[in-house]
Chain A
Amino acid sequence: MPNPVVTCRDVSRVYEGDGVPVHALRGVDFELEAGEWVSVAGPSGSGKSTLLHVIGGLDQPTEGTVTVDNVEVTALSEAQLSDLRLHKIGFVFQAYNLIPVLSALENVEFIMQLQGVAGGERRQRAIDALDALGLADLADRRPGEMSGGQQQRVAIARAIVTNPVLLLADEPSANLDTATTEELLDVLRRLNRERGVTILTATHDPMVMSYTTRQVNLRDGHVVAP
């Protein structure tokens, strides 16, 4: 049986806030298999985003280990974490986080430029990714010239164009209306089903949860039964 894409073992994260420790995660055990689309659900402050950040190497757990694609994230240096995020993980943020001075096409190309993908191949892959998300006509537009839904789709194109082993989406629908959210979720479902992209989504939106193949519930930093 293949190893899971993500393994969390006894992961805790404690923040020192004004001298009072805040337990964002408390001994979380979690696995994500290849090809799954799992939503981490729970109310605000339950630790959803923290779990995604720890898995994505943006935050370090206070205790426990996190493994992504057989790499122990918790043992990596800052530069190695950068490489892990660059080569293995795609991020979709709540606030889109596109580079404002680059066009949609250039934003999608950006990660591949960091990876050192050659110009011709890079451009073609970026065009294909935008095309797959129905954004071919917007390739030359900058983020400020696009709607929230369009920007989020560009962010998804940017996240998947490098074929990462894992796509992390933190509240991807938070700034979108229902219709746009539905469009976005259709895109993610297509990526998951047709291209086998493994997706982990932090959300408290029931519509998002209804699309995922499995749901993990967090409450006060603990994984709880649904």
Chain B
Amino acid sequence: MPVKLLLQLSWRNLWRHRRRNTILLVAIAIAVSGVLLLNSMLRGMQVNMQETVIDNLTGHVKVLQPGYLDDPSIAHGFEVARDWDLEIDPDAVVGWTSRIRVPAVIMSERETRGVQLIGVDPARESISFLDDIVIDGEALGSPEDRRVLVGAALAEQLQTKVGRRLVLITQGADGRNREAGYRIAGVYRAEVAGLEKAFVFTGAETLKNMLDTLVVTEVSVRLVDDRFEPGILATMVDAFTGLDVLSWRDLEPQAAMIAEFMDTAVFIYFLVIMSALVFGLVNTLVTAVMERVRELGMLRALGMRPRSVVAQVVVESSLVMAVGVAGGVLIAAGVFALVADGIDLTAFDESLQSFGVRPQFTPVMQAGDVILVVVLSLVLGLLASFYPARRAVKLRPLDALRR
């Protein structure tokens, strides 16, 4: 049967039962747009969570001394030559930095808390959340800066503020406690409040002097995106022989697992929603075909082969599905455009904190997800239409004509 005739008949039959087909098209469009928007939310959560983890001083790739994760002290530090640089494609890397991170006790006049004291080179911290924080007071100026930056939540606990002095106690390279007083340069607010309580920053050289060491405890690399991770990992392994070169997935396995689960969840949500739709679709198609069984019998009586009748029903159903899916993609694109800049979830800030999700939520619509939903919808529509089509040709033309 010529394709042109097949399409012509199918297209006109589509408009024959306008109300029913309109309802069907709307149902498909809503289901598809719903799946796409839900996907964009899940992807947004996934990307948001990953970004938060990577921003959280982890980076995409980190170099650590073996044993540092079990005993995060200066004893597990390593030296990085002052003139060392990461010789990697600059298009793949946002930046890199080395840090000294040690556990410490921080004391104000009134309170004492356990924190992580981190010595940084402020100029290189554009790769972490330090680049986005709001600071009351001043930021650290250089690796030699002898002041500290504390989180707002910690400052509140310590009942201190900008300009006041704090005492920090930690263990030096020789195993003996070191104690030093620092003035508060600034109080920072991070998007995730947990960071404010955990991290206290000072200049890297200042901390090295305090600990009487030349080593750092980590080198962190931020990439443009995940695609470059395997290549960078390999390069870093060569550059840091004898050290652990770890991906953020190794360092934050729970976040990595959730991110992985999102991939599966996208697929599961799609199947659940579309399966429900397919039942409705099959039901409607069966009704539509049974209403026309006499007509289809006539086509066969005139000489149309059974497979052509099947093809006609399948093309008709696929056409409904294709138009519905196209409508769904347009609706989803329209709604997505309205929220693409981000959704303010500060009202749910506390609950989101526990998931490590930022209060400003940005949905993400990936071309791959759209293609997956479109292709799977069309495939499901195709499969769903075979049943009514088979029923249509199961009847002998004569029996169909007698109906």
Using a CB–CB distance below 8 Å, which chain A residues touch chain B? Answer: 53, 56, 58-59, 78-79, 82-87, 91, 93, 97, 99-102, 110-111, 113-114, 116, 158
Contacts and interface: CB of A to CB of B under 8 A. Distances in A.
A161 to B, nearest CB: 12
Given A82-B303, A82-B305, A111-B302, A99 B9 contact: yes
Among B1, B5, B12, B303, chain A packs the most CB atoms within 10 A around the CB of B303
Contact of B298 (A59, A87, A93, A113): A93
B386 to A, nearest CB: 18
A215 to B, nearest CB: 25
A93 B398 CA distance: 12
Given A53-B398, A113-B2, A79 B9 contact: no
A104 to B, nearest CB: 15
Interface of B: 1-2, 5, 9, 12-13, 16, 295, 298-308, 396-398, 401
Contacts of B304: 82, 86, 114
A68 to B, nearest CB: 13
A110 B5 contact: yes
A84 B305 CA distance: 11
Closest 3 pairs between A and B when the two form their complex, measured CB to CB: A86-B303, A101-B12, A85-B303
B2 A99 contact: no
B295 A99 contact: yes
Contacts of B9: 99, 101-102
B312 to A, nearest CB: 11
B401 A93 contact: yes
B27 to A, nearest CB: 23
Given A53-B398, A58-B397, A113-B1, 17 more contacts: A59-B396, A79-B307, A82-B303, A84-B303, A87-B303, A91-B301, A93-B298, A97-B295, A97-B298, A99-B298, A100-B16, A101-B13, A101-B16, A110-B302, A111-B302, A111-B303, A114-B304
Nearest to A88: B303
A31 B109 CA distance: 120
B302 A86 contact: yes
Contacts of B302: 85-86, 91, 110-111, 114, 158
A79 B306 CA distance: 7
Main secondary structure of the interface of B (DSSP, over half): helix
10 contacts: A58-B401, A79-B305, A82-B303, A86-B303, A91-B302, A97-B301, A101-B9, A101-B13, A102-B9, A114-B308
Contacts of A101: 9, 12-13, 16
B298 A83 contact: no
Contacts of A158: 302
B398 A58 contact: yes
A82 B306 contact: yes
Contacts of B301: 56, 58, 85, 91, 93, 97
A91 B299 CA distance: 11
A208 to B, nearest CB: 21
Contacts of B13: 101
A82 B307 CA distance: 11
Nearest to B400: A58
A152 B197 CA distance: 88
A217 B386 CA distance: 45
Among A56, A58, A86, A158, chain B packs the most CB atoms within 10 A around the CB of A58
A207 B184 CA distance: 114
Nearest to B300: A82
Given A100-B295, A114-B1, A83 B303 contact: yes
A174 B376 CA distance: 50
Given A85-B301, A85-B302, A113 B5 contact: yes
A142 to B, nearest CB: 10
A80 B265 CA distance: 50
A111 B302 CA distance: 7
Contacts of A93: 298, 301, 401
A97 B401 contact: yes
A91 B397 CA distance: 13
Contact of A114 (B303, B396, B401): B303
Contacts of B401: 58, 93, 97
A110 B302 CA distance: 10
B176 to A, nearest CB: 92
A28 B102 CA distance: 105
Contacts of A97: 295, 298, 301, 401
Contacts of A58: 301, 396-398, 401
Contacts of B306: 78-79, 82
A102 B299 CA distance: 13
Among A79, A82, A84, chain B packs the most CB atoms within 10 A around the CB of A82
A84 B100 CA distance: 88
Contacts of B12: 101-102
B26 to A, nearest CB: 22
A132 B397 CA distance: 30
Contacts of A91: 301-302
A59 B13 CA distance: 28
A102 B302 CA distance: 15
Nearest to B308: A114
B398 A59 contact: yes
B2 A116 contact: yes
Nearest to A96: B298
A53 B397 CA distance: 10
B388 to A, nearest CB: 18
A86 B300 CA distance: 9
